[in-house]
Structure 1
Amino acid sequence: MSLSGGGLVLRPFREEDAPALIAVYRDETLRRFTRTPVNDPAEAARWLELQRRGWAEGHRYSFAVLEPRDGRTDAPAELVANVVLKRAEPGGPAAEVGYWTAAAARGRGVAPRALEVLTGWAFAAFAADGLVRLDLLHQVDNAASCRVAEKTGYGLRSVLPALPPEFPLDGHLHSRSA
């Protein structure tokens, strides 16, 4: 399965994405806002297995976001981001979206474009299953994620209190309805 829009291609992660994943995770900013390290081939394999298992079990749909190099459709695409739909309660009315963007792709609108594709897919794919709301959470110090949420129509619903040690800072809860 693959999705496309905004000059991007979204598809499930594959084993051959491991080297690009390791390279992306070298970025300190990304590491600060993610919880699972990917430093070497073994950690990349574990991360990729978590994504594969999420798809198989129907509760986590993680997409590699690819962009053709130099805007050429005939050029190989590079990994520029990740977007994910998390359904803690399959069949429930709400799900969570998340994302990260590779350092080299930041500031070019990759995250909003990818999130818009994911949002459209999620509401279409799970409408019959009762999905009517998507939530987006981020730490209050992640201004870039706040901008992505606003650009893609995820309105700020509330400020969530910190839950140390896993969530040491307050967070924002943004939501978008179908």
Structure 2
Amino acid sequence: MNAHARDARLSSGSLVLRPWRPGDLGVLLDAYRDPAVQAGSRAPVADEEAAAHWLRAQEEGRATGLRHSFAVVDTELGAGPVGNVALSFPEPGAPSAEVGYWTVAPARGRGIAPRALEALSAWASETFAGAGLVRLELLHQVDNAASCRVAAKAGYPLTAVLPPSPPWPGEGHLHTRGL
């Protein structure tokens, strides 16, 4: 993996996407107290130990090149993270990767999630298309209408309804975007 991918810092208007830092632990804990963030998470963060583990996992993912997670900072709202966007590969050189995101309650409805997802998607295309990446996938539960709106705004049309599959108890939506 190249240093550009490992050390990436992205920006889009008032948004800055940067690697998560140990000092973000409190923000992360607060975010995961939000039922909406909890409902969409595959890896719940319930306490300081879990938050520290989550932060280490992001560093490890970046080091291996299999996961690129970014704290989303909106300079208009303040200096701390208001969300997360991530790009995850199932294996090195895979033709598809999954994107995911969440935002804290005060950041919702401001267009932050679609702008952050668009910045991540553009970066993924620039950084990994030459290594064989051709498609990005976004998954969420069917009852998450807000995620459908974010996906559509960021150029991810709905492509399939998926059957229930752990850890999700209900059907899911698959949105895809070609590079």
Q: TM-score, normalised by structure 2?
A: 0.92
1:58-137 aligned at under 5 Å gives the runs: 58-70=65-77, 77-137=79-139
Instruction: Measure, in 1, the Cα distance between the counterparts of 2:51 and 2:76.
Output: 23
- More deviation, 4-13/116-125: 4-13
Residue 23 of structure 1 is matched in structure 2 by 30
**2: CA distance between counterparts of 1:159 and 1:6?**
33
Structure 2 residue aligned with 1:170: 171
Render the CA deviation track for 1:44-96: whole Å, top value 9, x for unaligned. 100101111100111010000011144xxxxx512111000001122121111
In structure 1, runs of 5+ residues without a counterpart are 71-75
1:40 to 40, 47, 57: 47
Asked whether the equivalents of residues 162 and 169 of structure 1 are also in contact (C-alpha less than 8 Å), the reply is: yes
Aligned equivalents of 2:13, 2:101: Cα separation in 1: 16
Which AA in structure 1 matches 2:157?
G
Aligned-partner residue type, residue 75 of structure 2: P
1:122-141 deviation per Cα after TM superposition (whole angstroms, max 9, x unaligned)? 00000110111101111000
CA contact (8 A) 1:69 1:78 kept: no
Q: Distance in 1 between matches of 2:36 and 2:100?
A: 16
**RMSD, aligned α-carbons:** 1.2
Matched residues in 2 for 1:90 and 1:159: separation? 27
Q: TM-score, normalised by structure 1?
A: 0.93
4+ long deviations beyond 4 Å: none
Instruction: Using the aligned pairs only, state the percent identity.
Output: 56
Equivalenced residues, count: 172
Between the aligned partners of 1:18 and 1:162, the Cα distance in structure 2 is 32
Partner of 2:4: none
Gaps of 5+ in 2: 1-7
CA distance in 2, matches of 1:37, 1:159: 24
